[in-house]
Amino acid sequence: MHDIILHHYPISLFAEKIRCLLAYKNVPWRSVAQPNMLPKPDLAPLTGGYRKIPVMQVGADIYCDTACIARRIEQLHPDPACIPEDRWGEIGMLEDWADHRFTGQVVPSVIAELLPVLPADILEDRAKMSPMLSKQNLLAMAPHTRSQALLSLDQLDCRLSGKSFLIGDEFTLADAACYHPLWFMRHIPHLFEAVSERRALASWVDRIAAFGAGDSEAMEPSAALEIARTATPADLAPIEGRKLDGIEVGDTVSIRADDIGVEKVEGVVARVTGEEIAIRRSDPVVGEIAVHFPRSGYVIAKAA
């Protein structure tokens, strides 16, 4: 089996969600540094234009979005379990809340503080993904979203009272999802004081941070592209699950996120399950690959 390759950059909070998961599971992985804004010439051949970070690669199978990435990691390395079957619904709901609402509450105030050290044109790049991410809008939103984040910190602190982790005594994907916005907040100490003041929450953050950086080894982007070029998609076996109305295996479709990011990825449907869609596509650089997306949060339509 091919190694897990994570395409990411250090300050990506969503990449931290996956790095945390890999560290907890003690899974070795290869680290490919990607730019934090366009162009991304060593990522586009793999994803077909999807630009968000992180992206996970296993041979010629490419996984986009942390929801999809986390579930594939769980399939490949089920022990210790991070999505136990009897709690998968609760975990999925907490993950969705954290990745969207909670992250949206935390990010504006952190970005506002980081502006002096960020690349000058990074918010211009992000505004192309969504007008909400423009410098003007982020700065305007920061006070309100900060106040909302404090309410969420109270809720998390209350939930963690008397428990080691959000679901119980064991770490799960719900913890990874709720942790990464706070890891991002930790870059601004005076903002992170709000976490330190909440005893159960602060202990939980320290407990997860103690997992460390995990077992990773740097890899050049060109090496990752060569692995994709010489491999064959391997994760396309049929899986039972609720199908997608009007979309069948063999259809050519376009896929795009329904919130941030307007880039469409086109390919031929190779598998549809209740949680995932996988498409085959061919690229001059890497040949035939399979690109996997979660169904939740994505617009899937037959290509014109």
Given pLDDT bands bounded at 50, 70 and 90, which one contains residue 246? Answer: confident
C-alpha to C-alpha distance for 129 and 16, rounded to whole angstroms: 21
Block residue for tokens 């998390």: 156
Residue with token string 């991304």: 40
Rounded to an integer, the average pLDDT of 226-242 is 89
Whole-structure pTM value: 0.96
- Mean pLDDT in residue range 274-293: 97
User: Which of the residue ranges 75-84, 113-122, 173-182, 243-252 would you say has the lowest mean pLDDT?
Assistant: 243-252
Cα gap 95→207, rounded to integer Å: 19
Per-residue b/e over 216-236, b at no fewer than 16 CB within 10 Å? beebebeebbebbeebebebb
Max mean pLDDT among 39-48, 131-140, 245-254 falls in: 39-48
Work out whether strand 61-64 and strand 216-218 pair parallel, antiparallel, or are unpaired.
Answer: unpaired
Q: What is the pLDDT of residue 261?
A: 87
What pLDDT score was predicted for residue 274?
87
Poorest-pLDDT segment among 44-48, 220-224, 270-274: 270-274
Q: Which has more confidence, 157 or 273?
A: 157
pLDDT (tens digit, 9 = 90+) per residue, 186-210?
999 999 999 999 999 999 999 999 9
pLDDT digits (tens, 9 = 90+) for 73-129: 999 999 999 999 999 999 999 999 999 999 999 999 999 999 999 998 999 999 999
Beta strands in 258-297 (DSSP E): 265-272, 276-283, 287-294
pLDDT tens figures, 31-71: 999 999 999 999 999 999 999 999 999 999 999 999 999 99
pLDDT of residue 304 exceeding 90: no
CA angle at residue 92 from 86 to 97, to 5 degrees? 145
pLDDT tier for residue 242 given thresholds of 50, 70 and 90: low
* Domains (range + CATH), the chain: 4-80+216-302 (3.40.30.110), 85-209 (1.20.1050.10)
- Alpha carbon distance 211, 206 (integer Å): 9
What integer pLDDT is reported at residue 77 of this predicted model? Answer: 98
DSSP SS3 for 12: coil
pLDDT greater than 90 at residue 245: no
How does DSSP classify residue 299? E
Average pLDDT over residues 224-229: 98
Rounded Cα gap, residues 83 and 303, in angstroms: 34
162, pLDDT greater than 80: yes
- Amino acid residing at 142: A
Q: Is a pLDDT exceeding 70 seen at residue 241?
A: no
Q: How confident is the model at residue 239 (pLDDT cuts 50, 70, 90)?
A: confident
